[in-house]
Amino acid sequence: MKTTLILAAMLVLNAASSFAKITVGASLPDFASIASYVGGDNVEAFSIARSTSDPHSVEVLPTYMVRVARADIYLKVGLGLDQWADQIIEGARNSKLKIVDCSARVSVLEKPTRKVDASMGDVHPDGNPHYWLDPANGVLIAETIADALVLVDPEHAEAYRANLERFRSETEQKMSSWKLEADKIANHSILTYHSSWSYFARAFEFNIAAKIEPVPGIPPSASHLALLVNTIRKDKVRVVIQEPYFSDDGANYLARETGVSVTKLSPSCADVSPLHISRILIRYSRHLARCSR
Ligand SMILES: [Zn+2]
């Protein structure tokens, strides 16, 4: 009887382990969202930062280390954006954790052409790290994540590759309707607070006339704001995109001086559901279209 019970318990444990999901932690919800899509039923993904967090500086909490201690894969944004994640990974002491730099396949914009010093700002030492807002880069991120999943969980390699191809074709299909939406406003020049929108602007042919920050990570001086007033008038800028986690004093000043409309938009998606990153792009362009009328 006792032997039968032990055998039954072993069978249950074995069944549980063969159905155990691969746990993927990510610095940002956009990357967790893509991991959910590519991973499908075999993966459980979570994000450390929220869509409302400043991705350059996330406060490291012990609970994050506990979550990463139980993860199989960790997705970093890379390019110096989420250096805070290193502290979480170190604190997690998880020797089986596979750390993946999702910028691996991306061609990087705004790479410094000379040695980085304080005059160039303090947050983008390796070029612009906000690459996830170009859907084509979303596909490159998905490829990198699929490679990592296949390595960690070869048993489900076929499913991961099939999901990746579905992600690729769905993104390519949707790109034309996103472009149609964006075309309605693409001829408008915009101002942004930070350089979070460079890849988005390139993908959808927006003209970023200037940034409120003179260099990444440095708030604007009075003389820089005076220059921006001129730029807004000269380039007929009608919209300023302001990340919700940076001070909006500069944007509000420009709105008072010139009548420009300020739109608060987070460059990250709000949850980790699959394809949220795609849906958010169309929402941005609709929002911008409304403000540009
Ligand atoms: Zn940045």
Give 20 Cα–ligand 1 centroid separation in angstroms.
Answer: 36
d(CA 268, CA 265): 9
Q: Encode pLDDT of 116-135 as tens digits.
A: 666 666 668 899 999 998 88
Model pLDDT, residue 253:
97
Give 163 Cα–ligand 1 centroid separation in angstroms.
Answer: 30
Q: Positive or negative CA dihedral for 256, 261, 267, 268? A: positive
Model pLDDT, residue 274:
54
Give 108 Cα–ligand 1 centroid separation in angstroms.
Answer: 13
Model pLDDT, residue 128:
95
Starting at the edge strand found earlier in the chain, the sheet holding 189-192 runs 207-211, 189-192, 239-242, 261-264
* Closest CA relative to residue 203, chosen from 292, 287, 109: 109
Q: What is the pTM of this model?
A: 0.88
* Closest CA relative to residue 71, chosen from 138, 124, 126, 24: 24
The parts of the chain modelled with pLDDT lower than 50 are 11-17
Model pLDDT, residue 16:
47
d(CA 150, CA 199): 28
DSSP 121-179: -SS-BTB---GGGSHHHHHHHHHHHHHHHHHH-GGGHHHHHHHHHHHHHHHHHHHHHHH
Name residue, tokens 């990357």.
31
* Domains of the chain with CATH codes: 20-174 (3.40.50.1980), 178-292 (3.40.50.1980)
* Closest CA relative to residue 25, chosen from 62, 71, 64: 71
Give 217 Cα–ligand 1 centroid separation in angstroms.
Answer: 7
d(CA 104, CA 143): 10
- Residue type for 96, please? K
Give 56 Cα–ligand 1 centroid separation in angstroms.
Answer: 6
d(CA 182, CA 59): 35
Instruction: Write phi, then psi, for 228 (nearest 5 degrees).
Output: -65, -35
Model pLDDT, residue 292:
54
Name residue, tokens 């500086």.
57
Give 253 Cα–ligand 1 centroid separation in angstroms.
Answer: 22
What is the four-CA torsion angle of 107, 83, 96, 40, rounded to 10 degrees? Answer: -50
Give 18 Cα–ligand 1 centroid separation in angstroms.
Answer: 41
Starting at the edge strand found earlier in the chain, the sheet holding 22-26 runs 43-47, 22-26, 73-76, 98-101
